Amino acid sequence: MKRPLHWSALATLCVASGAYAHPEDTVRLKLEYNVSHDSNYFRVANDAQAQALLGSTDASVTTHRVGAGVDADLRFGRQVVALRSSFSQVDFDRVILKPATELSVKADWNWVVGNRLSGSLNYQTKQDLQSQADVATAEQSKQKQTVTGFSASYQAHPSFYLDFGLSEATYAFSPDTRKVLDRTERGHSFGWRMPTSAGNYLGMQYRKTEGDYPNQLPARPYEQTEYNLNGNWAPTGMSRLAWAVGRTRRVDGLTTLQQPTWSLSGNWAPTGKLSFNASWGKSVGSSDTATVSTTTATDNATLGATWLATSKITLSGTVRSQNVQYDEAGRTDQIRGGGLTLGYQALRSAQATLSYDTERRNSTAGTADYHFERWSAGLQAAF
């Protein structure tokens, strides 16, 4: 078993003198209500599968979610602490789905020491509901995730930065059919950046992650190593591109996977009321949604647009495409989807939203196919 990182020792390195309360401290209370109707909540492939799982061909579920949260930004001299917390009660119109809670707590300490050394210390824990795809049971699927991270950046030269990071994470799943996906992992990274006065930069990063699946017999370790060259570029005052290209090597049990990986994202705002965004990339990692395998190679592409129709009304839309290869099982999923969201800023601190989303998955494992449509309406307020 790996020894835990001594996060308290790292924290003491970041303490700076002269801490005091700041007049720009803010604390905000958030309230939320949402109702949604999902035509295929259990992600079944057909009526026969729904009948076997649910005793009915009706796989639709209406969900009611009531939530509250607190956001706080606190300043102590040059240090900034950001606290985020939220809690939701979720109820369903199907008796086979028991009421559930979702919880998220996040703390970020953005620290500064001297004029050249800065970074952050992060902690997050959350428990939320997951997609029912591949669960093969009517019991609600959940994930509990806890992540701790430390990062530091040192300005070695006016135009050259050195970056360092450490992280620890645990992921726990339910119901019991998903416990084989429970995992723990820790990672470290090194890199450099060369920024320009225009806000662009060129950099390189090395990252290594080690983990294991403790509930698999025998316990299954994995190791993932990533190298990439990355950058950020604003070709015009109305557009910006971020990119990374490199190679990933993953050793998962008896399987070794080596592939080129990349990401490209950008946004373009030709007018003050209209903006576009797009992303494209390929990644290698662990699967959280399918029980058939634990190593995946994923191709992603998205395209979205946002239109500020009036000072109070916003319309946004997106289309997405994803191809997922499960290395061990020889399975491939093709996922296509999209959605529309209408937002109305009723008051400065209150907003109403109406959204529609649809998705279809075609898999080489025929029983993993599904299609759903979901309508949602929500109210959010911040004080």
pLDDT at residue 236, rounded to an integer: 86
Q: Which helix (H) or strand (E) holds 54?
A: helix 47-54
pLDDT at residue 9, rounded to an integer: 44
Q: How far is CA 322 from CA 66, 129, 300, 366, in A?
A: 31, 21, 5, 17
pLDDT at residue 17, rounded to an integer: 36
pLDDT at residue 199, rounded to an integer: 78
Instruction: Output phi, psi for 190, to 5 deg.
Output: -135, 150
Helices and strands counted in the chain (H then E): 2, 18
Give me the amino acid identity at 226. Answer: E
Segments of the chain with pLDDT less than 70: 1-24, 290-293, 329
Q: Which helix (H) or strand (E) holds 70?
A: strand 61-76
The span from the CA of 339 to the CA of 216, in Å, is: 38
Please check whether residue 226 is in contact with residue 245, taking contact to mean a CB–CB distance below 8 angstroms: no
Instruction: Fill in the DSSP letter of residue 366.
Output: G
Please check whether residue 221 is in contact with residue 253, taking contact to mean a CB–CB distance below 8 angstroms: yes
pLDDT at residue 255, rounded to an integer: 82
Tens-place pLDDT, residues 345-383: 988 889 999 999 999 999 998 889 999 999 999 999 998
Of the candidates 300, 371, 380, the one whose C-alpha atom is nearest the C-alpha of residue 341 is 380
pLDDT at residue 292, rounded to an integer: 59
The answer regarding whether domain 19-382 maps to CATH 2.30.30 reads: no
pLDDT at residue 16, rounded to an integer: 40
